[in-house]
Amino acid sequence: PVAKRAVAEAVQHDKVPRPVGFVPPPPPCPGKIRHFRI
Amino acid sequence: VPAAPPPAPLGCDDPEAEAAAEFAVNYINGHSRHGYKFALNRIDNVRVVSQGLNNDIMFLELDLLETTCHILSPTPLANCTVRSFTQHAVEGDCDVKLQKLNGKLSVLASKCHSHADSSEDLLQMCPDCPLLASLNNTEVLATVTAALNDHNSKSTEPYLRLLEIGRARIQYHPVHSVFVEFAVAATNCSLGEAKENVEGCQLLPEDQSNFGFCTASRLIRPSEDLSVDCQLYGHQVPHHMLPSLPEYSTGQDTS
């Protein structure tokens, strides 16, 4: 368990901080569903 | 000729892709002779291949949904209602190839297939909902015949002939009912003339043609009952959209 926590923390520290209000761009395709999906 | 720069990748929700999809859907509906108008549900994919300056080929993959407007209906697509999930929706999958030359779109090729939503999915959400039935089902045919006879026998308008059955649904529980929709055309006969020689009844000349649409429901069990509603469009249909008689839609293809 100790080793797992250490790895998790290291990954957290490596993350690039996102600017406040950042919204990731939607995937280019497929597009939005206008009605419903069947 | 210098090579044109590669076009910027186009997203499915980009205005240019949406404009092309709208153009493609109008083309598909405008070239269909049977069934219902389809509305855009989603752009699945878009690919642009440059052919030179201001000359692109666009490949679109579209998801469409069936509306309640028959293809002969004069109602603009924007005013047509997409069929709800509980009406057993029908989806159309279309591949369209377009050219955009100097900003002007044209369709080079299109191929569509349609399929109904799965009955299992519908029954899971709505156990009592009627399910789509085959258009040549004997109960469906009997209901259409009864409905058209009922309308013609009560109407003072010209005798109506069946153009095609658009869709049919049958419900078995808690009551046994049949729901049908069919397109009709007015003829030059009165009811009396039709009774004498129905084969002699011809469609009215094109400039006077009246096309219409009927919905009917027939209760079979626990008791028999029939209700019919026919509305004539009362407009001129472009020649390329005139169906040939007698011809019945036996599938759900939009192509």
Place of tokens 């999915």: B121
- pLDDT over 50 (residue B161): yes
Report yes or no: B234 and B210 within 8 Å, Cβ to Cβ. yes
**Nearest beta carbon to residue B42 from set A26, A28, A32:** A32
Q: Do B65 and A26 touch (CB under 8 A)?
A: no
Q: Which residues of A touch B12 (CB under 8 A)?
A: 28-32
Interface confidence, given as ipTM, is 0.81
**Nearest beta carbon to residue B82 from set A30, A35, A37:** A35
B189 φ, ψ (degrees, to nearest 5): -105, 150
Minimal C-alpha gap between A21 and chain B (Å): 22
Tokens of B17: 């892709």
**How many Å apart are CA B217 and CA B181, to the nearest integer?**
9
Q: What is the pLDDT of residue B237?
A: 47
Say whether residue A30 is in contact with chain B using an 8 A CB cutoff: yes
- Taking one residue from A and the other from B, the number of pairs with CB-CB distance under 8 angstroms is 52
Strand partners, B212: B184, B232
- pLDDT over 50 (residue B175): yes
In B, minimum Cα distance to A29 occurs at B12
Mean pLDDT of A11-35: 75
What residues contact B173, with CB distance under 8 A and at least 6 apart? B128
Q: What is the pLDDT of residue A26?
A: 63
**How many Å apart are CA B169 and CA B88, to the nearest integer?**
9
Q: Which residues of B touch A33 (CB under 8 A)?
A: 41-42
Q: What is the pLDDT of residue B34?
A: 94
Reduced to 3 states, what is the DSSP secondary structure of residue B207?
helix
Say whether residue A28 is in contact with chain B using an 8 A CB cutoff: yes
Q: Do B85 and A36 touch (CB under 8 A)?
A: yes
Q: How confident is residue A2, by pLDDT bands cut at 50, 70 and 90?
A: low
- pLDDT over 60 (residue B252): no
Report yes or no: B50 and B76 within 8 Å, Cβ to Cβ. no
Mean pLDDT of B24-30: 97
